[in-house]
Amino acid sequence: MEYENFPQTEILRDGRSIIVREMTIRDEARMVEFFQGLPLEDRLFLRNDVTKPEVVHRFVRETEDLVLALVVEFDGRIVASATIERGLYGWTRHVGEVRLVVARSMQRCGLATVLLRHLVRAAPGEGIEIVKAFVAGSKGGALRALESLGFNKEATLRRHVKDVTGRKHDLLILTNDVSHIWEKMEALNSDFSPVLGG
Ligand SMILES: CC(C)(COP(=O)(O)OP(=O)(O)OC[C@H]1O[C@@H](n2cnc3c(N)ncnc32)[C@H](O)[C@@H]1OP(=O)(O)O)[C@@H](O)C(=O)NCCC(=O)NCCS
């Protein structure tokens, strides 16, 4: 579904030019390459084993519950994936879930901030008032990144995640209401511009 005019070219704060656009089924092979290129620590906590081509095959096709699915291209390769999914049950239809993955070589340049801004823009039109994210384990950059983007820890489900190596971790649920995220985004954009243009 079109919420903004994609593709959009953005210049990251380190000067690299990237393209943000909607994911299509033609991205399948490059998505496999992207996910297989992620270091183990960054994919340990992804919900599915996205290094398996059949998982990516379904991911690029079964998009009916996704409000928006974005990819980022740099140098002809996919370097990030971002989705927002609507609540699947009647009573959580106002709650959307975001998932963000950024290639190591592109992290800490403001890319997740840019992607979250796009995802959040798509939320109100779908009646999404609360955005949630799942993070496994309390260590690592993902929790700090989401907290810095305005999410708050809402709940911890102990030992709810078994990673691809079989180890168990706590599952943290982080949430934020869309209007609050918008305020945060505006504040982030005025204090510090992760991108130019866009
Ligand atoms: C979490 C993730 C998406 C962040 O992507 P990113 O593009 O590097 O994030 P940004 O550059 O927009 O960072 C925004 C802020 O988050 C914080 N942050 C991001 N990564 C961090 C890290 N590793 N350690 C501490 N803080 C971090 C910083 O405050 C950062 O702002 P700053 O760079 O100006 O200090 C990325 O680390 C990732 O893909 N991790 C693996 C997958 C995952 O766990 N996804 C989360 C589940 S939804």
In a domain, 2, yes or no: no
Residue 3 included in any domain: no
What does pLDDT average to in each consecutive run of 10 residues of the chain (198 residues)? Answer: 82 95 97 94 80 95 92 97 88 92 95 90 86 84 86 94 85 84 60 50
Q: What are phi and psi of 149, to 5 degrees?
A: -95, 10
66: domain range? 8-197
Tell me the one-letter amino acid at 49.
D
Asked if the structure places residue 1 within a domain, the reply is no
Supply the CATH number for residue 87's domain: 3.40.630.30
Going from the Cα of 180 to the center of ligand 1, the distance in angstroms, rounded, reads 19
Residue 189 within a domain: yes
Domain count, the chain: 1
Indicate the helix (H) or strand (E) that contains 55.
helix 53-61
Residue 103 lies in a domain: yes
Q: Does a structural domain hold residue 50? A: yes
Q: Which of 121, 25, 21 shows the shortest CA–CA distance to 80?
A: 21
- Tell me which residues have their CB closer than 6 angstroms to ligand 1: 42, 45, 99-102, 107-113, 133, 135, 141-142, 144-145, 148
Q: Is residue 192 part of a domain?
A: yes
Name which residue sits closest to atom 22 of ligand 1, judged by CA. 141
Distance from chain centroid for Cα 45: 13
